Amino acid sequence: MKLRERVEWIDRTLDELYPDPPIPLDHKDPFTLLIAVLLSAQCTDARVNKVTPELFALADNPFDMSKQTVEAINPIVRPCGLAPRKAQAIQGLSEILLHKHEGAVPSTFEELEELPGVGHKTASVVMTQAFGHPAFPVDTHIHRLAQRWKLTSGKNVTQTEKDLKRHFPKERWNKLHLQIIYYAREYCQAHACHGMECLICKSCFPKRKRKLKTKKA
């Protein structure tokens, strides 16, 4: 398949497999989503979903969270890794939301990325899933599959994001990034397929003879 044919086939196939992909992180509003996405850095969504009920029972809004100490937050979020940095970020961003944004999660990339612990990928997830703004968050799954499907060079996640935005129409970005994640987890895992076994890899690259080594994010 030529690139354009491959892009269209992948897009169509993913939409057939996952017509209505749910948001994998449990949340009830932009604040709880922001905290869940922050915790998901270098951690599985499943583990985050086990941790957040206890955390949100302690505090589920910026006002209550800002009153918590890092020492109170840290034991709860420790299973998500990168402790106590995540605990410090959660407490710190809650104070900033309260004093700078009247307790609301801002809806711009610039303001989100000013918050402690919030990088471009986290901001992108919040922008798309909380506010419906067109964005294409790139995690390790998406970075891996974009390389296996020859949609990017894999140089870095920034380049992968640019390439995917260039290949796919903007109105598909929000849904497509979730569809790729679900496909990666179910059919094209990091230590399986290797660009040779799953439906999309075999269909797009039937002549591929060697396992594809992808660059890490």
Cis? peptide before 24, omega within 30° of 0: no
- Whole-structure pTM value: 0.94
> Which of the following is catalytic: 45, 86, 139, 163?
139
Query: Would residue 213 show up in a list of annotated catalytic residues for this protein?
Result: no
pLDDT at residue 217, rounded to an integer: 76
> Which of the following is catalytic: 64, 121, 162, 216?
121
- Of the pLDDT bands very low, low, confident and very high (cuts 50, 70, 90), residue 1 is confident
18-22, 29-33, 146-150, 154-158 — which is least confidently predicted? 154-158
Query: Would residue 163 show up in a list of annotated catalytic residues for this protein?
Result: no
Structure token pair of residue 27? 């949340």
**pLDDT tens profile 174-184:** 999 999 999 99
**pLDDT tens profile 44-64:** 999 999 999 999 999 999 999
Q: Which residue has the tokens 């057939």?
A: 16
CA–CA distance, 205 with 164 (Å, rounded to integer): 19
- What counts of helices (H) and strands (E) characterise the chain? 12, 0
Contact (Cβ atoms closer than 8 angstroms) between residue 188 and residue 203 = no
Domains of the chain: 3-20+136-204 (1.10.1670.10), 30-131 (1.10.340.30)
pLDDT at residue 154, rounded to an integer: 84
